[in-house]
Chains A and B, each alone.
Chain A
């Protein structure tokens, strides 16, 4: 069964600090992996997309990594801001299905 596990479930950090969120998946065959940011009361918004051959991709202060061998991805946030407070969801698409598999998300709170 295709699964996406995220850790930690929640995280509290101080403004300006860095943090790393983890995603492990068992989706097969792998097509791509996206990280979404979901603000409270809003729909998810895509931050990055990574395919099998990509190891690292950046979007401003967000950097995603992918290890397709170990089926792990991480999202690193640099110099966090209050506006980074949100849920971050890892989503993995399979080549055999048009329905992606969603993780439960990591809830990030950035305190001033």
Chain B
């Protein structure tokens, strides 16, 4: 595709449920980033992949959050036992390689009731 895509665009779930958020980066981009953005705030770094490996997961808030990128392309952000505080827009970005411009997807709006 022409840009980064994310699915679903919106996700409403109940407290305690498990959710998966998907990111399809621009073809050929080796670097992939996940961010979380609350209303009126800038994106907050969660995790960064270089290829298939998580090069930096220091932004994950706790062990309920996990992300994978098994084939170095599509990535899935997984949240277990969701809490109301997890409600936010989750943004994915990809880059041709580390340090170059990041291209963002439209985000997934997660609402935990």
B105 and A43 within 8 A (CB)? yes
Total interface residues on A, CB under 8 Å, equals 22
A98 and B48 within 8 A (CB)? yes
Of B56, B93, B98, B102, chain A has the most CB atoms within 10 Å of the CB of B102
A7–B48 CA distance with the chains assembled, in angstroms: 28
B40 and A98 within 8 A (CB)? no
Q: Mark B21-42, 1 if CB is under 8 A from A, else 0.
A: 0000000000101000000111
A21–B40 CA distance with the chains assembled, in angstroms: 16
A12-20, A56-64, A73-81, A101-109 - interface stretch = A101-109
The contact of A103 among B42, B105, B107, by CB within 8 Å, is B42
A-B contacts at CB below 8 angstroms, number: 50
A98 and B107 within 8 A (CB)? no
Indicate whether A93 reaches chain B with its CB closer than 8 angstroms. yes
Indicate whether B60 reaches chain A with its CB closer than 8 angstroms. no
A100–B91 CA distance with the chains assembled, in angstroms: 14
Nearest Cβ on chain B to A57's Cβ, whole angstroms: 14
The contact of A43 among B99, B101, B104, by CB within 8 Å, is B104
Query: What residues make up the interface of B, taking CB atoms closer than 8 Å to A?
Result: 4, 31, 33, 40-45, 48, 55-56, 59, 91, 93, 98-99, 101-102, 104-107
Q: List 10 A-B contacts (CB under 8 A).
A: A41-B107, A43-B105, A44-B91, A49-B101, A93-B99, A98-B55, A98-B99, A99-B45, A100-B102, A105-B42
Query: What residues make up the interface of A, taking CB atoms closer than 8 Å to B?
Result: 4, 9, 31, 34, 41-46, 49, 89, 91, 93, 98-100, 102-105, 107
